[in-house]
Structure 1
Amino acid sequence: MTRGHRNLDEDDVRVRARGGSRPRTRNRPKHEDARQGFVTAVDRGRYRCLVDDRSVVAMKARELGKGSIVVGDRVALVGDLSGSAGSLARVVRVEPRTAVLRRTADDTDPVERVIVANADQLVIVCSLADPEPQPRFVDRCLVAAYDAGLDPLLCLTKSDLAPADTLLASYSALGVPAAVTRSDSAEDIAALREHLLARLSVMVGSSGVGKSTLVNLLVPDAARAVGHVNPVTGRGRHTSTSAAALPIDGGWIIDTPGVRSFGLAHVSPDDVVAGFTDLAAAVVDCPANCAHTEESPGCALDIGVAAGRLDPARVASLRRLIHSREPTE
């Protein structure tokens, strides 16, 4: 090709430099002088971290990429760690997690959402009335707890409105510890506190079950927002809008926003069954490749129910979970 009187070749092609003239390197700074911190809150790309006894606000370093940082993470920080107004540090490393509690929007959603990291106890908050108990939600949380390696604790609220005996009896075979509370009983709150000593506990519950009320009673200066239950729909308002870790007696409570669903798409079918510890032993006797549904011939769950060894309500709950994981057309 010619332009005017000059022949052009590949030497005349202009190549735009990318990223400046500095050579790229895979060597990342080691930040050996970084300080350890504990993430207590996350808000729009800013992370509140406890460093020694100071509350420090930090942003994520660019070299960390798109990986998420959540409440409960243990991180390494550099920069301004004074904690003074307007100061900003950088999170340069997320330490390996000992446990991760996660959920999906529903049972067919492939996108996992990490709720908290490094917790060792899941407190499943369920009201006995206003709104009505949700044992299916409790079952899902138990499966998630066992999958994440967390110890579950069942916390039943509003015992002044309805008795707890029936719900407690339905979970007695699992050996899950339980605390029954009413907000005006200091004795109940003290008993619940005993379960939280020196532990990193995450509280999960549907909207309106009294979770934030409990947190305010356990940690008086927490000032977590408290809503109300709609008398028409029976649903509560989402009052806590983000997770927050609060110190309590040598441990931490992580209060999470109320949720209306707890998807388990990230949990394998076998692990769903394993989450029902009172039923898991029975399915060992099922035929090979048994789906454990009502249509499964020779399913040991049906045999156990017929013989009076298994609770029909628990079997029905497991099967609902199994069916909910099937994609709809």
Structure 2
Amino acid sequence: MGVREQGIVIRTLGSAYDVQGPDGVVRCVLRGRLRRQRDGPQRPVIGDHVEFERVSPREGAIVAILPRRTALVRREPLDPSRAHVLAANLDQIVAVFAAVPEPDLFQIDRYLAVAEANHLLAILCMNKMDLVEDRESFRARFAEYEALGYPVLYTSAVTGTGLEALRERLQGKITAFIGPSGAGKSSLLNALQPGLALKVGSINPRTGMGRHTTTHSELIPFDGGYLADTPGLRDIGVWGIPPEDLAVCFPEMRPYLGQCEFSDCLHLEEPGCAIRRAVARGKIRRRRYESYQRILIEQQVAWGGLHE
């Protein structure tokens, strides 16, 4: 048995993995049980801390995955009983949305709930602000998120607006950029660190949706930390927690948890619901509560129709 070293997976390339070791990047394959479970839950992902053994100065084999501090998961659209870990040991996510056309607030709520479910700090980034005519009114529409404690940044990869504020948030952190296709994630990464030459997508004129541009997962070194550029995040969901725990993913609902008449309250039509009372009194925004209801329905379907 060779000498084991530790490193972090910075790139996945099919059956190969680039591991940042003590003295540079080592191209690794899987060994032993990891090789047999390559498509299972223990498949290495970017951000994983691993143990590896070298077979040459720049080649090696991953022999163990160290315990994960956090994991960002995506459910399988055709089989909601399965989950795929997309990135491990992240510190935060930046949810990027294009300012034009104006983003769907439910979609924003869903991505923020994903961050909460994965115990990750969430930063909301409204990109392509160069296309917004009335910026003051636009910002006012997103003040509710700032009131909930979510940092909201307004950026433009074209003009450079907001890039320094975003850069400060990224320093020394491992950050995943998530959000719908066409929001400008790759353009932002290129603007933050010129020379990356990431492929930039275009908008499909027929559907109005962006084309996927990232084909492999990668951690990009950035100012003492890493930026995660990861495909497959469009289907990300919060199905990994029980439906009865979804309210925890809405910060404004937390003060009322445990105050409902029934301990298993889902905060829908149950009598004596403290959250519904808070909505009626204006303590919780009705629009956010409606997002909660829609996400709960998604979870019930993913969990096989529980609590129907």
TM-score (norm 1): 0.82
Alpha-carbon contact 2:154-2:161 (below 8 Å) kept: no
The RMSD of aligned alpha carbons is 2.1
After superposition, residues 305-316 of structure 1 pair within 5 angstroms as 305-316=279-290
Cα shift readout 1:30-89 (whole Å, capped 9, x = no counterpart): x5x212221111111110111234222110002334121000111111123523xxxx31
Name the SS for the 2:162 alignment partner. helix
In the alignment, which of 52, 60, 82 is matched to residue 77 of structure 1? 52
> What is aligned with 2:211?
237
| Equivalent of 2:113 in 117, 120, 143 | 143
| Residues 126, 107 of structure 1: alpha-carbon distance in 2 compared, 3 angstrom cutoff | farther
Structure 2 CA distance for aligned equivalents of residues 304 and 111 of structure 1: 35
CA distance in structure 2 between the partners assigned to 1:266 and 1:258 by the alignment:
17
What letter matches 1:115 in structure 2? L
1:108 positional shift: 7.5
Identify which of 41, 62, 65 aligns with 1:91: 62
Distance 1:242 1:138, change over 3 A: farther
Task: Quickly say closer, same or farther: Cα 1:38–1:197, change in 2 above 3 A.
Answer: same
Number of residue pairs matched by the alignment:
293
Q: CA, structure 1 residues 165+187, in 2 after alignment: closer, same or farther (shift >3 Å)?
A: closer
DSSP 3-state at the match of 1:229 = coil
1:254 aligns with 2:257: no
**Equivalent residue number for residue 201 of structure 1:** 175
Q: What is the CA-CA distance between 1:110 and the residue it aligns to?
A: 1.2
Instruction: Decide whether aligned partners of structure 1 residues 274 and 42 sit closer, same or farther in structure 2, where only a CA change above 3 A counts.
Output: same
Instruction: Provide closer, same or farther for how the CA distance between residues 214 and 71 of structure 1 changes in structure 2, counting only shifts above 3 A.
Output: same
Give runs of aligned pairs for residues 1-329 of structure 1, distance below 5 A: 31=2, 33-64=3-34, 65-66=36-37, 67-83=42-58, 88-106=59-77, 109-130=80-101, 132-162=102-132, 163=135, 164-257=138-231, 259-288=233-262, 289-293=264-268, 295-327=269-301
Counterpart-to-counterpart distance in 2, 1:260 and 1:97 = 23
Q: Distance in 1 between matches of 2:140 and 2:277?
A: 24
Hey, what's the Cα distance between the residues in 1 that align with 2:77 and 2:61? 34
Q: Partners of 1:138 and 1:105 in 2: how far apart?
A: 20
Answer yes or no: is the 8 Å Cα contact 2:123–2:150 preserved in 1.
yes
Residues in 1 aligned to 2:277 and 2:207: alpha-carbon distance in whole angstroms: 39
Contact 1:110 1:265 in 2 (8 A): no
Identity among equivalent pairs (%): 33
The AA in structure 2 aligned to 1:124 is A
Deviation for aligned residue 1:286: 2.3
Cα offset, 1:116, TM superposition: 0.3
Greater Cα shift, 284-293 or 238-247: 284-293
The 1:146–1:118 alpha-carbon spacing in structure 2 relative to 1, beyond 3 Å, is same
Structure 2, gaps ≥5 residues long:
none
Secondary structure of 2:147's match?
helix
Gaps of 5+ in 1: 1-28
* More displaced 10-residue stretch of structure 1: 154-163 or 283-292: 283-292
Question: Match for 2:184: what amino acid?
Answer: G
SS in 2 for 1:231: coil
In structure 2, give the amino acid aligned to 1:127. A
Q: How far is the alpha carbon of 1:109 from its aligned partner?
A: 0.6
